[in-house]
Amino acid sequence: MQWSQEEEERAKDKAAENSLVKVQLEDQDKYEKEASKYWNEFYKTHKNNFFKDRNWLFLEFPEILPEKKREQLKTEEKSSESIKINSTSCFPHQDFPGMLEEGEEYWKNNYGEDSTSVQGQIYNKKQAKSVTDNPQGKNCREQLGELESFPGSGAAYRVLEVGCGAGNSVFPILKVLCNTPGTFLYCCDFASGAVELVKSHSSYNSAWCFAFVHDVCDDALPYPFPDEILDVILLVFVLSAIHPDRMQRVVNRLAKLLKPGGMLLFRDYGRYDTSQLRFRKGHCLSENFYVRGDGTRVYFFTKDEVWNMFNLAGLTEVQNLVDRRLQVNRKKKVKMQRVWIQSKFRKPLLLSLSSPEETTKRHPYG
């Protein structure tokens, strides 16, 4: 849907109004330092009954899958309006638990490991660190030949989901990848409780997936695999939970994990989404950054901000759009004007030699 100028102005006024009273600085520090605690409490409370599975991923982000698998699914589902996983899944048929992406009740209540066995191999973080610490990813392929003890080392196509939560993207993806030889899915989350929910799920299979706890804001913390091996990074409703001052460093680090030609797929909250306008005074941390009633935080982006972050990380735009939709709860007679930013950025096959100043001049949004 498109907004009228009047609707846009009304949304701006509402956001300005609910941002007048800021959260006190000492409390802001608390929400930053204790972020993992609040997210662990969130998953302890909601377990895996909060979000519904994101089967829409394959419509919006077909790049998650290898090209041959994409073509296969396209052929199989040619006459279907939405992609549905075919019956040859290696997992038993079941409905995954979940509610709406952000439930009405949730809004109502809130806006007012060193070694492990993986694929029969022993993975040790100290070994992985010797590769991850390689400054420019030099000789990465040679080191991979020598070191084959990291999870997914035998795969040819690798996907990482950052901020996997209870697995509402993980398991729909695994349903497809488990029938695609040579593929592997990594997934991580800041909250150990979320990772435990994924690993304890009946469909979790370490032959195809490795779930691990990771703080993407900690630059010194190594990933359990080397740089430049990922084909796809999925970043969905994650970056918004991070303090705005730390976002650029997070994106820069993630970009290093991608292979040349690899894709970063992004979807998150857009400026003036209904959830932003529903905040009451006293929940604003800084401009367009809020704290919910449960202590978790959320930022609302513009597509310019998203373009700038990924461009500064050396990635090139494939898609960057504002997705505005009208959601209607007919039973409760409630209308919600949702706003999301959806983007796809690719790591160039050859690094650009342009200066930051030249890059800024080429900004497609002026």
Model pLDDT for residues 28-60, shown as the tens digit of each residue: 989 998 888 888 888 877 765 656 678 788 889
Among 159, 162, 211, smallest CA distance to 182 is for 159
Position 217 scores a pLDDT of 93
Position 233 scores a pLDDT of 98
Position 106 scores a pLDDT of 43
Ranges 21-35, 115-129, 278-292, most confident? 278-292
Q: Cα separation of 8 and 61, whole Å?
A: 28
Among 245, 250, 318, smallest CA distance to 285 is for 245
Side chain identity at 215, as an amino acid letter?
D
Identify the burial level of 75 via C-beta atoms within 10 angstroms of its C-beta, where 0-12 means exposed, 13-18 middle and 19 or more buried.
exposed
Q: Cα separation of 127 and 139, whole Å?
A: 16
Quickly state the pLDDT bin for 64 (edges 50, 70, 90).
very high
Q: Which two tokens stand for residue 355?
A: 């200066």
pLDDT at 121 over 60: no
Q: Cα separation of 315 and 299, whole Å?
A: 22
Average pLDDT over residues 162-191: 91
Higher pLDDT pick, 271 / 124: 271
Up-side HSE of residue 187: CA atoms within 13 Å toward CB? 29
Report helix, strand or coil for 189: strand
Largest interatomic CA distance in the chain: 62
pTM over 0.85: no
Query: What's the per-residue H, E or C state across 54-113?
Result: CCCHHHHCHHHCCHHHHHHHHHHCCCCCCCCCCCCCCCCCCCCCCCCCCCHHHHHHHCCC
Quickly state the pLDDT bin for 318 (edges 50, 70, 90).
very high
Higher pLDDT pick, 125 / 42: 42
Q: Cα separation of 339 and 264, whole Å?
A: 20
| Out of 23-32, 70-79, 120-129, 332-341, least confident range | 120-129
Mean pLDDT, rounded, of the chain? 79
Based on its alpha-carbon atoms, the radius of gyration of the chain, rounded to whole angstroms, reads: 21
Position 44 scores a pLDDT of 79
Position 71 scores a pLDDT of 77
Tally DSSP H helices, then E strands, for the chain: 14, 12
Up-side HSE of residue 341: CA atoms within 13 Å toward CB? 24
Report helix, strand or coil for 114: coil
Which value, to the nearest 10 degrees, does the dihedral of the CA atoms of residues 272, 194, 51, 171 take? Answer: 120
Average pLDDT over residues 146-153: 75
pLDDT at 15 over 60: yes
Position 126 scores a pLDDT of 38
